[in-house]
Structure 1
Amino acid sequence: MGEQFTRFSSAKKYLINTLPENAKSIYCGCDIKKQGKKLVPDPTHCGYVPRNTLTRSGKVNQRALRIEWEHIVPAWEFGHQLQCWQDGGRKNCRKVSAKFRMMEADINNLAPAIGEINADRSNYRFGMLAQNATQYGRCEVKVNFKQRVVEPPVHARKRIADAYAYMQKTYGLKISAKQQKLFNAWQQQAYAANTNSKKL
């Protein structure tokens, strides 16, 4: 995708307006419906059930009812590699760093996600977890809050690995050898699965 933005808000607007009819949320694969300018997940077929239907204060968990634009490589991860982050976090980077603004608004690193899962994912790294995927109904994403690790479902792994590769190539993002190995494996698995399905 060639569109370039310097503001996250403009990138989000563009993505909402150009969202394909058949778009699905990245982790749960839920259909996405447009309600005015808002996007909402349709859990009918994907089996997503909120981890928390209510917030701590007893109000309806609105983030479980909306689609948000998830930074696959979290802003924290690419941001804290820049000096501006050391000097004052995300707010400061937005103000002083053109590179940060471009990275934050890069649509190749943004994917539609259910708000609750976007919130739970936070800036945790991706990895493999032993636990069963039962936190979000039939949605196969796993979040381990103690280890600060998220295991995405199989269908989302190539998209995630590709976004990391893109951010490395485009902006010189540094990632650990362990993460690199994991993403390479995900890309190979997706390639093998694709090749096998063509043979059938």
Structure 2
Amino acid sequence: MLYRLIPVLICLCLAQSALAGPWLREKGSTFSAVSFASTYNLETAATTFLEYGLTDKTTLVADIGMARLQNSPDGGYITLSFRRAIGSPDRPSKLAYEIGAGVGWIGDETLPHIRTGLTWGRGMTWGEKSGWVTVEGAIVWDLTHELHVTKIDTTIGVNFSDVTSGILQLYTAHVDGKGIATIAPSVVFTPRDAKFRVQIGSESQIGDLGNSALKIGIWREF
């Protein structure tokens, strides 16, 4: 039973929280990112990521996902957490910690968990282009089987223009002696006269590129 759950646990923990980085939301502001991914074999995943600036020093985060896989029962998760900055917000390199709790499910089995994370980020320039780099380390503590998923996510973003950005992400996770790495390039653009951004990209597990997924998402700030 345990080893049947491992691939699903890893998949569900490769969420899009790495998009946030260590930056906090202004008080009263909200960011949302909703995405859908599907493979050639019609394995699908849908995720919703929400941030809300509770105060100038505290950002609330909701991370929700659902997955349908071929060789495992349907699963999903909900994690609620808060993020706070470490050190001065004015320095070029940003640090933040995140603590949260939630529940996952696989078929009829419920899997409560605790999540702890530490994120570093920095704005960058490459010639005339601006961008950013973030590295997030997190541990998801499964309270049912006493497992923990260790993950390190790296994001590099480049602003090609005022309306178009390129993003390259590398997700890595390790659980119970098993590891997985996923590379996810994407392009984010703002349609003409729109108040939202569109993300189009792919996700490919290193070592299993034949089962890559296409991904589309919508970002919005309000």
- The question of a shared fold, defined as TM-score above 0.5 by the shorter chain, is answered with no
Higher relative contact order (CA 8 A, sep 6+): 1
Q: What's the TM-score once normalised by structure 1's chain length? A: 0.27
Task: Give the structure with the larger strand fraction.
Answer: 2
TM-score w.r.t. structure 2 length? 0.25
Whichever structure has more helix as a proportion of its residues is: 1
